[in-house]
Amino acid sequence: PTGAVTVGVRAEHLHVHAAAPTALAHLRATVRRIEILSDQRLVHLALADSAAELVSAAPARGSVEPGSEVVVELDRPLWFDAAGQRIAA
Q: Which amino acid is located at 54 in the chain?
A: L
Contacts 24+ apart (CB under 8 A), 34-38: 34/64, 34/65, 34/66
The model's pTM is 0.76
Q: Which residues of the chain have pLDDT under 70?
A: 20-25
Assign residue 76 a region (left: φ > 0; alpha: ψ between -120 and 50; beta: otherwise).
left
pLDDT reported for residue 22 = 59
Residues whose CB is less than 8 angstroms from the CB of residue 65 and which lie 6 or more positions away in sequence, other chains included? 31, 34
